[in-house]
Amino acid sequence: MHSVLRAPLLTEHGFEHGFSTRLGGVSAPPFDSLNLALGVGDDPGLVAENQRRFALAVGYVPGALFSLQQVHGELVQRVSPGADPGAVAQLQGDALVGQGGVAVGVRTADCVPLLIADPETRCVAAVHAGWRGVCAGVVTQAVRALCEASAAPAARLVAAVFPHIRGCCFEVGSDVALQLSAAVPGVSCVSFVSEGPRGRPHVALELLLRAQLSAAGVAAERTADVPGCTCCDAQRFFSFRRDGRASGRHLAVIVAG
């Protein structure tokens, strides 16, 4: 199904998961067609149908997805079977750790969606990593919370980064570049910050995230990157940077074993 992208690494370990493209839904322009978020101006009935289609494609029960009020910070929430998805959806945070068969997800329209899992205990995490969250340490906090929930060493985890705004398009001010350069102590910023065609800094967030995962103990060979730039590819992806408030939202979801 063209509406769902998967990471072979997570599939290899038996995790139901997926990242939505903008294809395969019923929403009208400018949210065409698989917008998965309420509150952006789309018709709620169409969003509900899109959510149903995506849930069936990924493999979780429609309406049973756990998500948060994302605030571009470092807060991690944990959910277990029996929790109320509606109540959890009122909580603030940018990462969810789940176990016991629950589905956890994050919505994005340029920020980095990161899914992490422990192949042995089947605990999982979904992380929303915008540049502010990266600076705040949400990746490190999510790894720590998942390790605590599963009693797993970080080296046992597997992770996958999904489409987001890439370095080709992610132009930032020098102040943001300086903050991001300090996000991984001991790692030179030249590995993920470069000069763009207009002489302003461009940041490769996926490289920064991989450095943070490595610093947290997740082996480089156990981190996958599903290609795609949300800003470049208007046919497949929504992008807030490109389209502003007329942008839909993607979902990245993983189901605990």
The average pLDDT across 24-52 equals 97
Look at the chain and report how many structural domains it folds into.
1
Output the domain CATH number for residue 245.
3.60.140.10
Q: How does DSSP classify residue 137? A: T
Q: Does 82 fall in a domain?
A: yes
Q: Does 184 fall in a domain?
A: no
Closest-CA residue to 122 (of 92, 162, 94, 80): 80
The average pLDDT across 192-206 equals 92
Q: Does 171 fall in a domain?
A: no
The average pLDDT across 59-78 equals 96
Q: How far apart are the first and last CA of the chain?
A: 23
- Residues 10-34: pLDDT tens digits? 999 999 999 999 999 999 999 999 9
- Average pLDDT across the chain, whole number: 95
2 confidence band (pLDDT: 50, 70, 90): low
Share of the chain above pLDDT 90, in %: 90
Q: Does 206 fall in a domain?
A: no
191 confidence band (pLDDT: 50, 70, 90): confident
Domain housing 82: 4-164+227-255
Closest-CA residue to 111 (of 239, 219, 254): 239
1 confidence band (pLDDT: 50, 70, 90): very low
Six token digits for residue 71: 């605030």
Q: Does 174 fall in a domain?
A: no
**The Cα angle at residue 106 between residues 100 and 112, in degrees rounded to 5:** 125
Closest-CA residue to 252 (of 132, 160, 130, 135): 160
Phi (first) and psi of residue 193, to 5 degrees: -120, 130
Is the confidence at residue 189, as pLDDT, over 80? no
Q: Does 169 fall in a domain?
A: no
Q: How does DSSP classify residue 171? A: B
Q: Does 31 fall in a domain?
A: yes
The average pLDDT across 124-135 equals 97
Least confident of 15-24, 93-102, 174-183: 174-183
- Tokens 């509900």 locate to 48
The average pLDDT across 195-210 equals 93
Helices 205-215, 138-150: inter-axial angle, 10-degree rounding: 40
164 confidence band (pLDDT: 50, 70, 90): very high
